[in-house]
């Protein structure tokens, strides 16, 4: 009898230790800056000068909850992340409560499976964004530094998504994702109300590989947007896709970044030519194809980090190539950390865009500084 009781006690102790208590973490960051912007928009508008308080100058302001529970041979976790504007307190991502990320996941020896709203693999955001390794600047730093200006991918977040990421094998890791319907809050009601995984819905597929060894990192991503009713707004557009190859190498005195991209049938690339006013409203180009490249560096200096990058993108419409768009930008920045949770930053840069067939040329410059606090 005593042996039986002892065995039960040992079994209970083992079971309690094998299944750890679930944990939940509250986290976030606030980025608020002051930015001076000069825009010489094009031949349809006068130049403008603004001085404003902005949120998310270098990184999106956010708060979130994340947690996990050990269930034996696997862990079940979740991330709920809400974006907001620290300058006025409003919600981001089209007023979604958890617009940056809302997913549940299960992970184990064979990788991690995600379900919910996720940022694309072909981005530098969220749990499975791979492009943080290819640029000195993230997808922020205004229109002068933002690495989206030299690429042809959407850098979006997608609803109704399944994703899988492998474990790391000798420095190599891969991921794939599929969205049954990319945007349930689209301004176009046909898109927003489309049935999931139907021909009416905008669906999205992306995959990525990254390899890290020592001082080097290499990333390859590819994505495809299967347009539904969205295509009716811009003409008869085939599926859009893009590929990005890039990486970085740490020389010790500086880390160098480089990336190249190719894209075709991308509707939303017009949006990122944000200095050429009303380019989409003119209906001159439905979707674009082209290429882009960026070089950058991150140099430790004076206790902080000096950042610099130059990018270029060349695009034309997919119909006959008569409408051509060009963009180049250059930016510098500096960040200094007072602690692990608080840093200040400064930035300056210039960007220029041209739309040849539309006889439009626009340019802009930005200078700003601010503070980021993490919790």
The dihedral over CA atoms of 313, 314, 317, 319, expressed in degrees to the nearest 10, equals -130
Classify 189 as helix, strand or coil. Answer: helix
Task: State residue 318's pLDDT score.
Answer: 87
The C-alpha atoms of residue 83 and residue 60 are separated, in whole angstroms, by 7
Q: Provide the sign of the torsion angle of the four alpha carbons 280, 278, 156, 24, taken in this order.
A: negative
Q: Which pLDDT tens digits describe the chain residue by residue (375 residues)? A: 444 444 444 334 434 444 556 789 999 999 999 999 999 877 666 788 999 999 999 999 999 999 999 999 999 999 999 999 999 999 999 899 999 999 999 999 999 999 999 999 999 999 999 999 999 997 778 888 888 888 887 778 999 999 999 999 999 999 999 999 888 877 666 666 778 878 778 899 999 999 999 999 999 999 999 988 655 455 567 899 999 999 999 999 999 999 999 999 988 777 777 777 555 545 556 788 999 999 999 999 999 999 999 999 999 988 878 888 899 999 999 999 999 999 999 999 999 998 886 677 889 999 999 999 999
The C-alpha atoms of residue 319 and residue 236 are separated, in whole angstroms, by 10
The helices-and-strands tally (H runs, E runs) of the chain is 4, 17
Comparing C-alpha atoms, which of 211, 221, 121 is closest to residue 161?
121
The C-alpha atoms of residue 244 and residue 131 are separated, in whole angstroms, by 9
Rg of the chain on CA atoms, in Å: 23
Instruction: Say which residue the tokens 């809302």 belong to.
Output: 102
Answer yes or no: are the C-beta atoms of 45 and 360 closer than 8 Å. Answer: no
User: Encoding tokens for residue 51?
Assistant: 């001085």
Q: What's the whole-model pTM score?
A: 0.89
The C-alpha atoms of residue 355 and residue 337 are separated, in whole angstroms, by 41
Residue ranges and CATH numbers for the domains of the chain are 23-374 (2.40.160.10)
Answer yes or no: are the C-beta atoms of 219 and 247 closer than 8 Å. Answer: yes
């Amino acid at each position: 009898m005593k042996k039986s009781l002892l065995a039960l006690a040992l079994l209970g102790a083992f079971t309690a230790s094998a299944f750890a208590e679930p944990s939940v973490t509250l986290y976030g960051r606030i980025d608020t800056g002051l930015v001076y912007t000069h825009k010489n928009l094009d031949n349809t508008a006068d130049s403008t000068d603004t001085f404003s308080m902005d949120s998310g100058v270098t990184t999106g302001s956010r708060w979130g909850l994340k947690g996990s529970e050990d269930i034996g041979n696997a862990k079940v976790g979740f991330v709920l992340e809400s974006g907001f504007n620290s300058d006025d307190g409003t919600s981001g991502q089209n007023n979604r409560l958890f617009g940056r990320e809302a997913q549940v996941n299960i992970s184990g020896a064979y990788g991690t499976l995600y379900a919910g709203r996720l940022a694309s693999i072909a981005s530098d955001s969220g749990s499975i964004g791979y492009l943080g390794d290819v640029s000195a600047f993230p997808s922020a730093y205004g229109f002068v530094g933002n690495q989206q200006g030299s690429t042809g991918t959407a850098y979006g977040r997608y609803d109704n998504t399944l994703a899988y990421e492998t474990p790391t094998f000798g420095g190599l890791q891969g991921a794939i994702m599929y969205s049954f319907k990319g945007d349930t809050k689209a301004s176009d009601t046909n898109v927003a109300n489309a049935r999931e995984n139907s021909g009416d819905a905008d669906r999205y597929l992306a995959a990525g590989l990254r390899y890290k060894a020592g001082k080097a990192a290499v990333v390859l991503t590819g994505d495809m947007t299967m347009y539904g009713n969205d295509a009716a707004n811009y003409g008869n557009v085939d599926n859009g896709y893009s590929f990005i190859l890039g990486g970085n190498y740490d020389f010790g005195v500086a880390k160098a970044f480089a990336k190249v991209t190719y894209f075709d049938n991308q509707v939303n690339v017009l949006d990122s030519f944000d200095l050429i006013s009303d380019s989409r409203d003119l209906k001159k180009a439905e979707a674009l194809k082209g290429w882009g490249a960026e070089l950058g560096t991150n140099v430790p200096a004076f206790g902080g980090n000096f950042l610099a990058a130059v990018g270029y993108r060349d695009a034309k419409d997919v119909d006959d190539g008569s409408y051509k768009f060009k963009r180049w930008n250059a930016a510098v920045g500096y960040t200094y950390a007072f602690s692990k949770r608080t840093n200040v930053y400064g930035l300056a840069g210039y960007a220029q865009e041209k739309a040849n067939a539309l006889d439009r040329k626009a340019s802009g410059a930005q200078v700003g500084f601010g503070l980021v606090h993490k919790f």
